[in-house]
Amino acid sequence: MTSASQIKRPEATALVSMTGCTRRYPGVLALDNADFEVAPGEVRALLGKNGAGKSTLIRMLTGAEVPDSGTVLIDGEELTHAGSARAQQAFSHGVRVVYQELSLVPGMTLAENLFLGRWPRKGGVIRHRAMMAEAKEAMHRLGLDLSPDTLVSALSPAERQLLEIARALLGNPKLVILDEPTSSLAAAEAEKVMAAVTRVAAEGIAVIYVSHRMNEIRQIAHSATIMRDGRIIDTVDVQNADTREIVRLMLGSEGAEAAVLEDASQPETVLEVRDLAVAPKLSSVSFSLKKGEVLGIAGLLGSGRTELLQAIMGVRRGEAGEIFANGKPVKSLGYKEMVGLGFGYTPESRKEEGIVPLLGVDENTLSTRFEGVTVNGVLSARRMAEATRKIIDRLHIKTARTDTAIGTLSGGNQQKVVIGRWVYAGSRILLLDEPTRGVDIEAKAQIYSIIRELAAEGRSIVFVSSEIEELPLVCDRVLVLRDGALREEFRSPNIDQDTLMAACISGH
Q: What angle do CA 160, 161, 163 make, to 5 degrees?
A: 65
Q: Looking at the predicted structure, is the pLDDT value of residue 254 above 50?
A: no
Handedness of CA 340, 343, 349, 350 (dihedral sign): positive
Handedness of CA 321, 323, 328, 329 (dihedral sign): negative
Q: How far is the C-alpha of 384 from the C-alpha of 377, rounded, in Å?
A: 13
Q: Looking at the predicted structure, is the pLDDT value of residue 313 above 90?
A: yes
Q: Looking at the predicted structure, is the pLDDT value of residue 508 above 60?
A: no
The helix/strand/coil state of 356 is coil
Q: Which domains does the chain have, with CATH numbers?
A: 1-94+173-252 (3.40.50.300), 107-171 (no CATH), 263-342+428-508 (3.40.50.300), 356-425 (no CATH)
Go through 184-222 and write b for each residue having 16 or more CB atoms within 10 A of its CB, e for each that does not: bbbeebbbbbbbbbbbbbeeebbbbbbbbbbbbbbbbbb
322 pLDDT tier (thresholds 50, 70, 90): very high
Q: What is the pLDDT of residue 255?
A: 45
Q: What is the pLDDT of residue 19?
A: 95
Which tens digits make up the pLDDT trace of 190-209? 888 888 899 899 999 999 99
Q: What angle do CA 29, 34, 40 make, to 5 degrees?
A: 140
Which tens digits make up the pLDDT trace of 362-400? 999 999 888 888 888 898 999 999 999 999 999 999 998
Give the rounded percent of residues in the chain with a pLDDT score beyond 90: 52
Q: Looking at the predicted structure, is the pLDDT value of residue 50 above 80?
A: no
Cis ω for the linkage preceding 280 (within 30 of 0): yes
Which tens digits make up the pLDDT trace of 388-447? 999 999 999 999 899 999 999 888 899 999 999 999 999 999 999 999 887 776 788 889
